[in-house]
Copies of this chain bind each other. A is one copy, B any other.
Amino acid sequence: MVTGGARSGKSALAESIASRLGAARIYIATAEPGDGEMAERIALHRDRRGAGWQTVEEPLDLAGALARTEGQGVRLVDCLTLWLANQMAQGADSQTDTGPAIKALCAALAATRSPVVLVTNELGLGIVPENALARRFRDAHGWMNQAVAAVADEVWMAVSGLPLRLKPERETP
């Protein structure tokens, strides 16, 4: 799992990890190019990855996408934050609503054999949002990150483009 703030170099770090893990690489995109900003970002990421990547678009059923691509190479999921946002856009409104999908994803991650690199965001380090939906999203997102980090073999945080290893933990209290 690769986490970090906005524009911190998460995707580039995840791509370099994926490239180290295998030559057959599948990019699982959770974004939908709905608006201009997002379409621009998707194009930018695609240009950087270059050739050698197969792309799968899957805004909601990540467990299914992992099952369908099993045995075909390294999977890079970019990103869990949009996946969770897509669920909330479909009506899931809280940690309670998104919990089952997060558990299903963690079970799929524990079961899969081909490598998976997951990109997510750290987004709980600002002031409490005034918007109640943003607070519920932030809560559900934090639980998601904790659940996925718990089943991950490695967790890295990108800060200003630099990698900081969080798991295996360097020290525990």
Which A residues have a C-beta under 8 Å from some C-beta of B? 1, 3-9, 13, 16-17, 20, 37, 120, 122-131, 134-135, 137-139, 141-143, 145-146, 148-150, 154-157, 159-167, 169-173
Contact = CB atoms under 8 A, between A and B. Distances in A.
Top 8 A-B residue pairs of the complex, sorted by shortest distance between their CB atoms: A7-B142, A126-B126, A5-B124, A6-B124, A146-B161, A125-B125, A5-B125, A145-B160
A169 B160 contact: no
Contacts of A160: 1, 3, 120, 122, 145-146, 148-149, 155, 166
A78 B136 CA distance: 21
A67 B122 CA distance: 37
Given A7-B139, A7-B146, 20 more contacts: A1-B160, A4-B124, A5-B123, A6-B124, A6-B125, A6-B138, A7-B138, A8-B142, A9-B146, A20-B173, A120-B160, A127-B138, A146-B161, A150-B161, A162-B169, A163-B173, A164-B169, A164-B170, A165-B170, A165-B171
